[in-house]
Structure 1
Amino acid sequence: MSSLSSFHTRRPILSLTLHLLRRITTTTNPKPNPTSRPLRRLSSNQTPRQNRLNNRLLPPLPNPTFDPPHKNPNSDPNFSQTDYNTISGLLTDSSLPPGPALEAALDRAGIELGPSLLEEIFARFDSSPKVLFTLFLWAGKQPGYQFSVGVFNSTINALGKMREFDLAWSLIFKRIKSDQGPYEFTFAILIRRYARAGLVLPAIRAYEYASKLDSICSSDMEMKLFEILLDSFCKEGSVRVASEYLEERVKLHPSWVPSTKVYNILLNGWFRSRKLKQAERLWIRMQQENVKTSVVTYGTLVEGYCRMGRVETAMELLSDMRKEGIEPNAIVYNPIIYALGEAGKLKEALGMMERLMVLESGPTLSTYNSLVKGFCNAGDLVGASKILKMMISKGFVPTLTTYNCFFRYFAKAGKIEEGLNLYTKLIESGHVPDCFTYHLLVKMLCKQERLGLVLQVMKEMRARGCDLDLVTCTMLIHLLLKMQKFDEACAEFEDLIRRGIVPQYLTYEKMSDELKKQGLGKLARKLCDMMASVPHSTKLPNTYGRKEAISREREASILRKAQVMTGIDAPDEVAKYTWSKRRYIAWKENLYIAKKAQVMPGIFRTCKNPRKLVRCRSTRENAVSGANLLIIGQEKSCWEV
């Protein structure tokens, strides 16, 4: 334990980024990816002495052992790089709207089409569904061309993203008539897209239709599709629907017994939705029905309790597992280690790591990533760097998931220079950043309003094979709005529509309100027309509604406490003018005290600085002073002295 606990010893940090990756190319320095040049590092204010001190703490970055997300088209002899680049250029040309214009441009290009080329293009432009569908239609008109299963499924996925489910079904029916499928994975894609769009009944109908096909009902694929249906509902927050549909199936087929995997899916769904009571009821039911539990079941329970902040309860399950003869492994330990690290209990997290090391299975790459993430979330980059060295010494090669932990910290802390330095070193070492890496970089730069760097990162993102998805474009639009670049924001919004991506309704509302506020009615009407041209939901994310409900509930609680303290009901607009000034001040004074009473327990729990606590003290005199300040302004005219 002592050897691991020593990692928690803190040392002064002079420059966070150089603690991590200034020396990563000292041992291996492969040629950089020639597709594009990495971002120039921002100018550093560090002295050479600081750089030398930081170099001593850095682990070298090993060569990546994974394949890039998209293969180099040159590696396939069936098509050329020129054809790949030509199609990519046409699909990214904003002057070519999807449809006849794009098809005509593809005809003029004289491309030699093949399944491998199309599969690479579909993987490259997975966030541009409308242009992909145009490409699919054009390819179908080429003489002798036959679609591969991968291209067909990618097209169904693209149509699902566009919410053009009628078109998706027409392609499926056409393929069924031609005896070419479709395969069960096609329906799995369709079900997940329905669930993502919140269309519960169509998802169920898609499953029930597929389960009646001879190719599916005669195999075990019917049960796999049923599990995918439940899993899709649970991941999109429709756990109750999944639970009710399971009960209906049990009633219709009394002899059928749900598998352990089905229960695990529901258990995970209740925990993901933060419905602790329902999850615990389901767990009790599983025990009463003697459902055979597995390490995955306990892993789901442990992860769920850790997600709810009940790490102690999760740790108690370890002994329950052993009583049932199930040996805990990394699946069970990883959530505990991550939760302890995220809570800042790094010594305890390292202790759990020590316990895992003595097991036969031992820690996995995910275990080390959990520790790195925990240290990064706690702001201890020295400790995270030491874990990095430790995992390399044990033979584990850090992946992009590992380094994304650092990017996440830099984005949260606004450490632009450190984040860009890390990005540069990854490129120089031969790593291929994924979309999530670019999301974190863009998020970091948007928070600091570095528009030029945001555009440069997005350009590199596209050059390295990552399509600009909804998340990235939404962050850019919000930044442009913040910087009052309304024409550019509308142009980006229009490009999303052109590519077949449905913008978030929250983004549309924010843009529309801002344009109206600035008197740009023409742009606001254009925006409204664009949004009306695509199927979309007018509901805001559940998180916003939940926060508003909590805020309203808290406000009502404060008003009730103020009423009890004063014996005076809250004033309406008329009462403000009829009350005496003394009576109104008394009510405001006690309202102020009630608000303080709500806030102070949280301050005492989280604040560790004694000076800040002193400043938060509230005597009755301070409350009176605060009450007087509250009535200055619009209430000032209520009383003429």
Structure 2
Amino acid sequence: MICKQSRNFSAALFFSFNSLRRASFRSKTNPKAQTTLPNRVPKSTSYTNPLAGGDRRTILSAIPSPSAPSDSTAASIVSLLSEPSDIPLDLDFQLQNFKNKLTSDIVLRILRNYKQLGRSRTLEFFSWAGFQLEFRFDDAVVEYMTDFLGRRKLFDDLKWLLKTAASRRGGVSTRSVAISIRFLGRQGRIMEALALFEGMELEFFCRPDNLVFNNILYVLCRKDPHEDSMDAALLIFRQMGQPDEFSYSNILIGLSRFGRFEIATQIFHEMSRAHLIPTRTAANILIKQFCESGGKRNLVEKVRVTSFRNPFEILVPCVRAESSIESAVELFWAIFELNLVPSGHVINSLITELSHLQKFEEAFEILKMVGDRKLRCGDKSYMIVIQELCKICRADEASGLFEKMLSVGFKPKVAGYNSLIQMFCSLRHVEEAKKYFDLMKKKRCEPDHATYYLLINAYSEVRSWEAAYEMVMEMMDMGWNPNFDLCRVLGGILRENGRNDLVLKMERNMEIQLLHGDCKAGRVDAAYEKLKGMLSKGFYPPIYVKDAFEKAFRKAGKWKIASQILSEMDQFAIQKND
């Protein structure tokens, strides 16, 4: 009995002096160490990790709020410990009047003022109080210090604290072990967390509950980059008597992450039979991984033929891609029936893969659900399907879906309008494409340069020079210049119809736009040559371009050169007027 007590106090001494040594060293090397502590209550593992399980309200009610100590004893001790001093405090002397008044509740109230005390004083007081109470603290104190040490990565001290508390009290709470597992896993110390879980009954005299199980499953399924951890996670999962939704969600995330979809599907159906709903994170990861496994990149695969003398490879359709996407759709609707809607990103990933595989019927069903619920992802969801329909020129379905999108209340982006315009232009239905161009301006969706390129090209191909010229001039009014090939084709059509005046006007506007762009960008040399060439052709720039030219040369410090060519331009204007 005496030997056992001496071992326990040796452990406590080791914990005390090791903590103080580290705290004093860190305070010397980092003077800001005492002022950079987080201004928040150290949390229990069940509500800092959403997959760890437990009821947050229950845990919060078990730990007092971080207010000033209402007890006079705690307030007096905090006041004494907060006094600035360059020499170490003699706590036995300073706190000798409070030795008989110490309780776990008072110790916890003092510890929760760690920001006022500083890390070194907090650890020093805890060690002193531990010797006074022979480390027979309540669970709340042990849990608080476990969290305190874990946040500061003092894992050796954390282990000695658990061992000392277990030996003096006959065991520790499962929450203390769960907190330790969480912090070990957060730092990637997976094997230590697993060893702590496996030895908790022998060393700390407590049986794991769902809180501990959920934390170790979280560590193995979310933090460990090796697939071998999934085997250990499955064994631990099967040891649980009554897994909750967090247990199932953790294991589903791990299985999905490592591509073990058959087991993941079985566990999901097992979870449904138990009337449990997975977390939204688990549902999102499960569906997303199914989609990625059957994505467009896997539509074909290489198969090596070895029955011939010279083996060769052939490309064959990948059956796994279709089966994976079908499983993803089934899971999606099964999760939806549980009144759980996956995230918009996951819904769009599923719709994208269905559209790539041209499974539009399934995509339309999901779009109907998106429209009925008016989800935020609806704009992008509809446009994904519309763009895929436009690629294969299914005009009626694309137009009908676009009208449905407008009727539901979603607002298409420029890319959606451009897809429809490009499809109708490729089908030589230019007037239909022009209807969508007018519609996008009516809906206050400003066209971009690609929209004008598509329509100008289409009008040029059908030799509708009036409409093409009108679109070019409107495009230049918007500040965009058509490329050289487009102007060459349109200029040829205009000359064929005897409209050389329109060709000159188009060229003049293009020169003005290029000159204005050079002035705004500060390319004064290019602007000078451009203006010189315009004057030689008889083009006189408007006032706003002249002002931009003057401003650019003044900013570049080359006003003499600018004034010379501007005077020539004024003389040219006078001669033109005469």
What TM-score comes out, normalization by structure 1 length?
A: 0.33
TM-score, length of structure 2 as denominator length:
0.36
Query: Between Structure 1 and Structure 2, which shows a larger proportion of helix residues?
Result: 2
Query: With CA pairs under 8 Å and 6+ residues apart, which has the higher RCO, 1 or 2?
Result: 1
Structure 1 or 2, whichever has the larger Rg, is 2
